[in-house]
Every structure is written in C-alpha cells, then in structure tokens.
Structure 1
Amino acid sequence: MRYKYSLILLVLVACLAVGCRQAADNTPPEPQEPAQEEQQKNPAEAIREEWAKSAHATATNAESPDSPAKREACMRCHDGRAYTMQISSVEDLDTGEPVGQDCDTCHSGHGKEVWQSGLVQLPAGEVRDGGGALCMDCHNARNIPDPENRPAPHASAEADIVMGINGFQVEGKTYGSSPHTAVKDTCFGCHMADLGGGYPSHTFKSDVETCKSCHQGIDTVNMKAKDDYDGDGTVEGFQEEVDGLLKTLHDTIEAKLEGGSFTSGHGRILFQDGNGNDLENVPAELYHGAWNYFLVVNDGSRGIHNPLYVVQLLQQSILMLDGDLGDAKQL
C-alpha cells in the first residue's frame, strides 16, 4: 500500500514539473535591451539634428527682404552655396532662396580647401590655424581700424580676438595673447569636440567638459579671475571683470563726448553730441577706443577667447582716454 502511494506521489510530482516547464516555455520572453549601437543615433542623423538647431542653419535670415544672403557684400558668408563657390553676385547664384551653412558649405568647394590648408587671409593679415581657419574665414571683423573712414568691427569678430590681432594697440605697450591659439585646430578643438556621441559636436557651442581637459576642476567657463582687473575692488568671475572694463570704457568715451553717445551701425562707428547731432570730426583716440570696445563686444565670449589680450586692450584704451582704473591690476 505504501508503495502504491509513493508511486502516485511520484507521478504527481512529474506532472507538476512538466506543467511548470510548459508554463515557463509559454511565458513571453523578457524584452531585451537593444544593442548599444542600436541605442545610439546614426552619427549623420545626430549631426544634422544638432546643426538644424544652430545659428548656422538660419544665418541667411532668408525670410527678410533685406536678408544678408541677398546682399552682394554679405552673401559669401550668409549663403552656403555662395561660400562654397565663392560667388559674390546674386545674379550669378540664381538658385532660389538662400540656404544656410549646410554640410556642403564646409565639406566641399572653397570650404574644404580652407579646412585642409588651414590657411586664411583676414583683413588684419594671413593666419595659419589648422581646421579653425575655416571658421575664421567668416568669423572675423571684416575691417581694420581706420579713424578717417571709421569702419566698425563686424559682428562675430572671434578670429581677431582669438588670434590677438586687429585691436588698436597703444604705442610702446607690449600685448600678450592666450594659449588658446595652441589648441589643435583652434575653433574646432573647443567648439566641435566629441561630447560622448562618437562624432564632433555640431551645436558649435563650447562645453565646460571640453574646457576641463586643460582647466581641471572647473565647473563653469566663467572662472574666477586671478585679480581685480576692472578696479571695482572685487575679484569676480573673469567675464564679470571684462563686463566691468567694457562699462568703464563705454562711460569714458561718452564722458569725452560731453554727454554724447556712440553706436555701431551699417558697418561704421557713429558718434553724436549731447543734442543727438552726428559728429563728423572725432579725435582718433576716441575712435580707437570705440573700435576696441566693439571688437570685444562683437567677439561675444566676454574675454574667454583671449583673456590677456582683451584685458590689455580695454585697460589701455581706458588709460589712453584718461579714464580711471582705480586700483585695478594692470596687465
């Protein structure tokens, strides 16, 4: 009898095991994580998405009747096709609406030539600067200081500041420059670094993680200055020091104009007296101070591109115009 019960129990256990195995076999498999390479976007797709959100994609301002891409003096940098083919006549281009600086702009034609040669001719002279020369071909002041005709630095004058050229320099003063010029391919090295996606970033924005490769331990590009450069009695972030110097220079120029003002427009620096009348005759040192002011403002980095050069330009401009630097550390 005991043998019979044991046999029945054995059969039940066997059936239970088979049933469990069948149930397990019929259970839908757990979803598998896709392979790492499938999780990551195709680099070309990721690059295009980044580019589409950048200013390069919309630099034409094509919807405006006065788009710079439709002006012969501007089109070679504001229309990607015009740059690629180095066309400066709207009639010669004749391909419909302007396009931004797209893939072809940099990877074919003139753009590819400049990139590979690393050589670019700027208004202030020839620059050999690796891949960054491609950026500098358009991102420069477009003019040199000239107190007679009073041209203004163009917007996005980064090349001049990075390379430490084209600012008005006071005679007898030695001006320094930043080690940033030693970064491989300059602009590319900081603004097109691989941020972990396996491809060069096409947002064209600097990232503090890239800065850390040289400036260990920082958490912002606005690092604390080494000293008080604007003379306000406080050592601040470097960009705040530059902001302070810009304000002092601005106020110093306006004080020399006795309540007048100065602006930049249509490629020129314009001066007005206290009654709003245009001034035709302005001392050269006033123009040179204003040139340095707009050169630094139009660079847009608030001194980060070339800290030493920017502080020297601004401080010496203020002193040239008898402005007050207080107890600022002079470079």
Structure 2
Amino acid sequence: MNITVLGCGRWGAFHAWYAHHIGHHVTLWGRPGSPHLAELISQRRNEYMTLPRDIALTADLTGALAGADVVIISISAQQLRNLAGQIKGTGLTKMPFILCMKGLEIGTGKRLTTVMKEVLGPHVRTIVWVGPGHVQDFLAGMPNCMVMASDNLDRTKHMANLFSSPLIRFYYGKDLLGTEIGAAAKNVIGIAAGMLDGYHYTSLKGALMARGTHELSRLIAAMGGDAMTVYGLSHLGDYEATLFSRHSNNRRFGEDFILGKPFAKLAEGVYTSQALVDLSDAYQVELPITRTIYEIICHQKDPLEGLQDLFLRSQKEE
C-alpha cells in the first residue's frame, strides 16, 4: 500500500515512520522551505527519530499525492483549510484522507471533517485518527489504543484494520461528531491541568477530569452527538497522556504559562479554547473550564483567581 503523509513535524514524521514500520511504502511531504523537511532531508532524523532511507521526502505536493492509496494529514488544525485548497488544486482528491490532528477551526468552530467537505466537496472520504499516545513512548515500543472514526462504518473498519499493529490497536468510533469534539477539547483540559501543576494544585486534577468530561458531554449532546463518546478514547481515554505526561505540549504550555516561561511548541488547545467558547455561545451550553482557560490566555484573567473560582469557591450540585 502506498501511503503519503502530509506534514513533517513531530507527528507527521512519526506517522511516516509508523506506516513504514507496519510494511507500507511511504512518502513524506513538507511545505517548501520547511525547516523540519530540510532537517530530515539533510540528516534523515529529527529530535525524536531517525527515518528509514526508503521513506521518500519531498516538497512537491502533486508528486506526493500521485499514486497514493491513502493520505495521512498531520499538520496544525488551523492550516487545514489552506492545505485542502492546495490539494484541490492538484485534482488528486479521490483517495481516503486520514486526519491525525485534534482541533477546531477558530473563527468558525467547525470540525476538521467539515472543513474538508467544504473545500474538497461532499464526497471526500475523510477519517479521523485520534486518541492517547506520545511519539516518544511509541518509539520506545510502548503500545497504546487509539480510535478511528468517519461517517461510514465500513470505511472506518477498513482503515483501522489497515493500520492496526501490536504497537497501536485501533477501535472503531461510531460517533464522528463526538470523537472530533472530544479529541479537540481534551487539549484545553490539558492546558488547565498544566496550570494546576504550575500552582502545585495537582491534586485537583481528579476534579478537573470529572468536571471536564461532564461539560463536554453536554456540548456534544447539544450538537447532536452521543454524550457518552466523551468517555471513550478520543477524550477521557487521552487524559493520562494529556493531563499528566511530561511529553504533553498542552500540559507543559499551561504549566509554563503560570511559571512565566516561554513555550515555543504548538499547543493546539490555545486555539481550540476560542473555538469551543464560540460553540458554547452558539449552542447555549455552559463550558466553565473552557471559558476560564480562554479568559486567562486571551483576556488576561487572573489565572489563580480563575482556577480557584472553578474548583475551590463555588458550591453547587455535582
């Protein structure tokens, strides 16, 4: 099977490595001028892994898509609409596209599969691949469970079976909306967890987990999804990797924010908090944790006061 991976950052490089690891022919694409691609071309490695020599590296999008049986997209969620437009320009849109990002489009609050349909047409075959795991752990041989979901169960099963291995076991997600919202929202909860770590309030993560899943289940239900999806691998199942792991960019962003340290890596939860607040307003569903994180990051709300209001001051029914 010929697999093309679009995006050569940490996760894109890993998805290329993984697809090769389980026996596929792989092409890895990066944007022209990408420092990540330049590093991989010159050294065949980045700070996390060494890529096998027979993974093709290219900045030619048309060439990368030509002949691909499946395309994996692993970029920032906020760049998807632009990249989808470039893909449309190549005319190569008939193959399945697997989205390995967790986020919502800011300004619209739209799910990433919706963005794909808007740009590439209603018949585009899109699958999401989400769930717990870190590049560093997978490369060390630590297995995990993840989930794939789409609007067609047979397609979901086919892709999950195609990519399953002893390293990653895939489950079939039947609720695409809930899977996408839950996967995006867990990054916001991860930022909240890091802020608690920054204040040495780590013991409050239990309350954060309980309340975080509850508020997102209400939003998913209001949007027409299954409220129980949030308790699966896309959201609650990803909490260990996002709320506790030293590898979690979102958790580290939250902790460094409190400690006043600069953080240069991508923390997708920053953008997702804004998109979720917009959805909260549109569907009239209260998201107190999400809104507090958004106000702290984007509107300079006092973080200690905001977190204490959430967990230590209010008295209400559970």
Greater C-alpha radius of gyration = 1
In the superposition, the TM-score normalised over structure 1's length comes to 0.26
In the superposition, the TM-score normalised over structure 2's length comes to 0.27
Which structure has greater helix proportion?
Answer: 2
Which structure has greater strand proportion?
Answer: 2
